[in-house]
Amino acid sequence: MEASKVIHAIYTDDDVLMSAVKKVKAEKHHIEEIYTPFPVHGLDKAMGLAPTRIAITSFMYGCVGLTVAIVMMNFIMIEDWPQDIGGKPSFSYLENMPAFVPIMFELTVFFAAHLMVITFYLRSRMWPFKKAENPDPRTTDDHFLMEIPVHDNEESLAALLKDTGAVEIKIVDKDEDAH
């Protein structure tokens, strides 16, 4: 049951946290998670996380929105119920496309934004009524928490974290913490 133990190191400054992450990674320790009250620039690179692919999904969702806009406007304004608006008859989609550009733009942005947010929440496993996984409420205000798994190296890891500027170090059993 030793693998279920983690060490929580609390930091009070983001610059100290950033240098601590670099030192811990240099010592070949795996950082499970870092909880911060605000985004820390460069932290993902320092932790060695893979780049996000949310921009690719955003582009694909925008393409879906553009396609929906084109198909919708062609059906509504050209095929189903063509109207003579301001003396401009609706003979073909291409003749009227300049008037449809704002709608195409808006639906592209609408689909990209909304589907990207839904994708982010699902990918982050943040669905409605989910219990918060934050191990220390102070990390929502002004503290930073680094979580590292412990594998029979509690003393050396605690000493390393103390040297990096941690103001508080706690060893926690993840199984007990989950209940």
User: pLDDT of 6-34, one tens digit each?
Assistant: 999 999 999 999 999 999 999 889 999 99
In a domain, 133, yes or no: no
Q: Which residues contact 174 (CB under 8 A, 6 or more apart)?
A: 4, 5, 6
Angle between helices 54-73 and 93-123 (to 10 degrees): 150
Same domain, 28 and 58: no
pTM of the shown model:
0.70
Same domain, 47 and 89: no
Residue with tokens 């396609």: 67
Same domain, 58 and 106: yes
Strand partners, 169: 9
Residue 125 has pLDDT above 60, yes or no: yes
Segment 36-45 mean pLDDT: 93
The strands making up 5-11's β-sheet, listed across from edge to edge, are 33-35, 144-149, 5-11, 168-173
Same domain, 88 and 42: no
Residue 177 has pLDDT above 60, yes or no: no
Nearest to 176 by CA among 4, 54, 3, 21: 4
Q: Please give the tally of structural domains in the chain.
A: 2
Q: What is the mean pLDDT of the chain?
A: 89
Same domain, 75 and 118: yes
Same domain, 44 and 65: no
In a domain, 136, yes or no: no
Same domain, 117 and 80: yes
Which residues span the domain enclosing 158? Answer: 2-51+142-177
Residue 53 has pLDDT above 80, yes or no: yes
Tell me, what CATH number does 158's domain have? 3.30.70.120
Segment 129-148 mean pLDDT: 90
At 117, the pLDDT band (50, 70, 90 cuts) reads very high
